[in-house]
Amino acid sequence: MCGIFGCLLSNGNASPVIHSSLKKLEYRGYDSVGIATIFDGKIFLKKGQGKIDEVHKNLNLDDLPGNIGIGHTRWATHGAPLQINSHPHFDCTGKIAVVHNGIIENFSELKLELQNLGHIFVSKTDTEVIPHLIEAIMKDKPDFSFENAVQEAIKRLEGSFALAAISSHEPSKLVCARNESPLILGISDNGIYCASDIPAFLPLTNKTVPINNGELVIITAKGYQIKKIRDGSLIERAPEIIEWTSEMAVKQGYPHFMIKEIYEQPEVLRNTLRLQDHYLDLFSTFLDRSTEIFLVACGTSYHACLAASYMFSKLAFLPTYPVYASEFIEQYGKSVNIDSTILAVSQSGETADTIAAVVSAQQRAATILSLTNTIGSTLTRISRVYIGTQAGPEIGVAATKTFTSQISVLAQLALRLAKRRGKISQDEIDTLEGQLAKLPDIVDTTVKTQDAKAKQIAHKYANSKVLFFLGRGISTATAFEGRLKLMEIAYIPSVAFPAGESKHGPISLIENGLPVIFVCQKDDTHKTVISNIMEMKARGAKIIAIIEKDDNEIKEIADDYLEVPQGILGIFSPIPYAIPLQLLAYHMAIELNHDPDMPRNLAKSVTVK
Ligand code: M6R
């Protein structure tokens, strides 16, 4: 998730406007920043690694000449957060500049094709293929306008993008386009802006034009023109007035970052499905040849590891050990060796316990692989190979979108390993891949249909003294995660354990009216879960079940239920089943007047042991 901005002004220099607008998009990423403008037929550029203020202090981002320009604040996906990888990116002639947010899935193929034509690439980004493609098309079709060349180039892109491009060939034109990544225009008396998000231009105007997937916009002194990328047909769209305050705009109209991030999950999951194959292959090579594999993490990331241990075992027939990072050194520190692999999972990539576990294993020559949401973090620097979870910056302290994105990547890895180890048939692989591809839509439906219902249930149970969270099989991980979400933001003491453990002790706590949340995915555990529900009911517990739509057997015995769509394979269930639990925790916190974004005593990144 990066922030892009572009503008064509009637009066004044573009660069200070771009600079201040990028500052408002900094929550989308801040690894590096860059601005390009055009003046007197020439492109001017400033870009650098670091936060916007640091780069501005060194370079002065406000003094580029010209009334037209583009800018970018980066959250690294392809290529480390270095100056060379920061946007804008250029073609070989330096006459075409592009900023981009999204992921170009077929960039390796395009890069090779362009390199064979003699194009020289300077960065490790996927974005750089775009200006080179535009250049190649302009060379091939000299009669093409700049926007025609952009249109032809983006027809060849697979993946997601919101991009803005300028060229000294046509110095008074700004072209932008969208597929999946957000893009919106702002219209003011002094010019037209394009941006990833409304806050970028909200102080300048509240007149906006939303751009849809598959659309291209040409901005000139005469105004804006929207076209379909597919066939160039014109689209008429008048501006709308947005009645948002700046604070609302940063949260895109949501009252809290947490709920915004819950709603972002379908988009994030689509991005995690765009991982580059060779990283999954590399990971599976290392995992396949190790004699023991530890999945090491803290908090929510640990729950993702716990879910992954079921996936690796069930799909790839590979045993792994999920371990709390803070316990790793005591528990396994001495036994780790050159044949061990540590797969560390961390949203921030900076969690002190996780880093300490990794460093200690590294000293004993173990292989370190990692999964993190923060490229350039300590974890990425000390790992042999890492994969980025593509969730975009998460502001709410409670991890939501990063949990489901971690599991999505780990599920893809389990599948890749299963293939490599020849453990499941091609038919099964096709079914599993098909189901993974559907998860973003399944999550979308779940969020949209269960939000209001979760709010009602939260209202009913918010004054409970204690709650239980139970699941069997892979839903043990989901239950643990549901409990953590509720405890950390609603401060309600909660207990979670595998449902089968009830009768070994915890059931003695059950008394009339105590709410027990059961995560009831439809797999081999379903029948036994029903027995566990009956045991609890018999002792007076109130049952809140998270079920598949039309699971009538459980609907009949539950007091309340939240539903996910039908037909979800048990092995992937933690992704959709986590959603109702996130919503429930959020609404309980609101019911109890707690700020879900900033729970007491907690920090987003825990950098002390
Ligand atoms: O950045 P990390 O994934 O390493 O963070 C681990 C935990 O601190 C984190 O998941 C924490 O438990 C969250 N507050 C959970 O919502």
What span, in angstroms and rounded, lies between the C-alpha atoms of 308 and 306?
Answer: 5
pLDDT at 180: 85
pLDDT at 199: 82
Q: CA angle, 434 as apex, 422 and 271 as ends, to 5°? A: 105
What is the number of alpha carbons within 13 Å of residue 133 lying toward its C-beta?
27
| Residue 604 annotated to the active site | yes
pLDDT at 601: 85
The size of the chain, in residues, is 609
> For 193-204, what is each residue's pLDDT tens digit?
999 988 889 889
Q: Higher pLDDT residue, 216 or 245?
A: 216
| Residue 2 annotated to the active site | yes
Distance of CA 41 to the CA centre of its chain: 39
pLDDT-above-90 percentage for the chain: 84
Q: Tell me how crowded residue 75 is: count the other CB atoms within 10 A of its CB.
A: 25
pLDDT at 76: 78
> For 258-314, what is each residue's pLDDT tens digit?
999 999 999 999 999 988 888 999 999 999 999 999 999 999 999 999 999 999 999
- Mean pLDDT across the stretch 231-256? 86
What span, in angstroms and rounded, lies between the C-alpha atoms of 451 and 561?
Answer: 12
pLDDT at 605: 75
Q: 396 alpha carbon to ligand 1 midpoint, in Å?
A: 11
Res. 608: pLDDT tops 90: no
pLDDT at 469: 98
Pocket test for ligand 1, best of 323, 351, 372, 400 (most atoms within 8 A of CB): 351
- Active-site pick, 51, 139, 537, 604: 604
Lining residues, ligand 1, CB within 6 Å = 298-301, 346-348, 351, 354, 397-399, 484, 488, 602, 605-606
Q: 416 alpha carbon to ligand 1 midpoint, in Å?
A: 26
Eight-class DSSP state of 88: P
Q: Higher pLDDT residue, 6 or 423?
A: 6
> For 547-605, what is each residue's pLDDT tens digit?
999 899 999 999 999 999 999 999 999 999 999 999 999 999 999 999 999 898 887 77
What span, in angstroms and rounded, lies between the C-alpha atoms of 253 and 259?
Answer: 10
Strands 174-179 and 159-167, bridge-based pairing: antiparallel
Q: Ligand 1: which atom is nearest the Cα of residue 485?
A: 16
Q: Give the list of residues 6+ apart from residue 107 with CB closer than 8 angstroms, or none.
A: 78, 126, 129, 159
Q: In what order do the strands lie in the sheet with 340-346?
A: 321-324, 292-297, 340-346, 367-372, 385-388
Q: Higher pLDDT residue, 130 or 27?
A: 130
pLDDT at 286: 96
pLDDT at 604: 76
Residue of the CA atom closest to atom 4 of ligand 1: 346
What span, in angstroms and rounded, lies between the C-alpha atoms of 296 and 303?
Answer: 10
Q: 397 alpha carbon to ligand 1 midpoint, in Å?
A: 8
Eight-class DSSP state of 201: T
Query: Are the C-beta atoms of 120 and 92 separated by less than 8 Å?
Result: yes
Query: Are the C-beta atoms of 55 and 33 separated by less than 8 Å?
Result: yes
Pocket test for ligand 1, best of 261, 296, 298, 595 (most atoms within 8 A of CB): 298
Reported in sequence order, the residue ranges of 180-256 that DSSP labels E, i.e. its strands, are 184-188, 191-195, 207-210, 215-220, 223-228, 234-235, 240-241
Nearest to 274 by CA among 178, 417, 409: 409
With 0-12 CB in 10 A as exposed, 13-18 as middle and 19+ as buried, what is 396? buried
pLDDT-above-70 percentage for the chain: 100
Q: Higher pLDDT residue, 163 or 243?
A: 163
Strands 159-167 and 542-548, bridge-based pairing: unpaired
Helix (H) / strand (E) containing 546: strand 542-548
pLDDT at 253: 86
- Mean pLDDT across the stretch 368-394? 91
Res. 607: pLDDT tops 90: no
pLDDT at 181: 85
Residue 176 pLDDT class (50, 70, 90 cuts): very high
Res. 252: pLDDT tops 80: yes
pLDDT at 65: 97
Instruction: Report the SS3 class of residue 143.
Output: coil
Residue 432 pLDDT class (50, 70, 90 cuts): very high
Q: Give the list of residues 6+ apart from residue 84 with CB closer than 8 angstroms, or none.
A: 122, 123, 124
Residue found by looking up tokens 């386009």 in the block:
177
Q: Which two tokens stand for residue 268?
A: 């994030």
Q: Ligand 1: which atom is nearest the Cα of residue 400?
A: 16
Instruction: Report the SS3 class of residue 275.
Output: coil
Q: Average per-residue pLDDT in the chain?
A: 94
Residue of the CA atom closest to atom 16 of ligand 1: 398
> For 49-64, what is each residue's pLDDT tens digit?
988 999 999 999 999 9
Res. 27: pLDDT tops 80: no
What span, in angstroms and rounded, lies between the C-alpha atoms of 500 and 213?
Answer: 47
Question: pTM for the full model?
Answer: 0.81
Query: Are the C-beta atoms of 490 and 585 separated by less than 8 Å?
Result: yes
Residue found by looking up tokens 């362009």 in the block:
114
Res. 175: pLDDT tops 90: yes
Reported in sequence order, the residue ranges of 385-503 that DSSP labels E, i.e. its strands, are 385-388, 467-471, 494-498
- Active-site pick, 2, 298, 305, 520: 2
Taking the CA atoms of 252, 191, 130 and 210 in sequence, report the sign of the dihedral they define: positive
- Mean pLDDT across the stretch 353-372? 96
What span, in angstroms and rounded, lies between the C-alpha atoms of 46 and 552?
Answer: 61
Residue found by looking up tokens 């716990």 in the block:
306
Eight-class DSSP state of 162: E
Helix (H) / strand (E) containing 48: strand 42-49
